[in-house]
């Protein structure tokens, strides 16, 4: 599968995401995640989180090994991994300077993934780092092992 001129991602990222169940136009309901996280963690889902999870929620990649600039660690796009960790997300949000909503985890649950209202994706557990300014770029970095 070659990379098309207007493709959102590299061919490798497209391959991994499709293998995980993504396809253009994919849309899954987010209501259960939203109510679970509101009830158990006090999280309020913002629109960027809702749109991201509608398209990518429930996907998982277990691909590990060498990447372009760091190891590929695998990821799971399920916000309920953080349902009891609202205090962790409070700290990560404060460090990021944005209201991060959980979207999943990476590296066998050693890092949380959170999305800001502007669409930037952050990664962290004890501290937070900007993964990418956009969700598409964040997915590509996770898939391809790019720091």
State how far the alpha carbon of 8 is from the alpha carbons of 32, 65, 99, 136, in Å.
Answer: 28, 23, 26, 7
CA dist 145 and 81 (Å) reads 22
Domain presence at residue 66: yes
Residue 5 lies in a domain: no
Q: What is the pLDDT of residue 6?
A: 56
- Split into its structural domains, the chain has a count of 1
Within-domain flag for 2: no
Q: Is residue 68 part of a domain?
A: yes
Q: For residue 92, what is the domain's CATH number?
A: 3.40.1580
Q: Residue 23 — very low, low, confident or very high, per pLDDT cuts 50/70/90?
A: very high
Assess if residue 6 is contained within a domain: no
d(CA 49, CA 33): 11
- Residue 89, domain extent: 11-144
Where is average pLDDT lowest: 28-32, 43-47, 107-111, 112-116? 107-111
pTM to 2 decimal places: 0.92
């Amino acid at each position: 599968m070659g990379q098309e001129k207007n493709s959102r991602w590299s061919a490798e990222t497209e391959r991994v995401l499709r293998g995980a169940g993504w396809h253009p136009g994919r849309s899954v309901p987010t209501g259960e995640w939203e109510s679970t996280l509101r009830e158990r963690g006090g999280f309020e889902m913002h629109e960027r989180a809702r749109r991201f999870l509608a398209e990518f929620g429930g996907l998982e990649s277990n691909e590990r090994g060498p990447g372009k600039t760091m190891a590929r660690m695998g990821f799971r796009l399920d916000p309920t991994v953080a349902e009891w960790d609202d205090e962790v997300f409070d700290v990560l949000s404060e460090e990021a300077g944005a209201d991060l909503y959980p979207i999943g985890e990476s590296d066998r649950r050693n890092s949380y993934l959170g999305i800001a209202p502007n669409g930037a994706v952050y990664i962290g557990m004890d501290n937070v780092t900007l993964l990418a300014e956009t969700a598409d770029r964040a997915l590509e970095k996770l898939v391809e092992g790019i720091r």
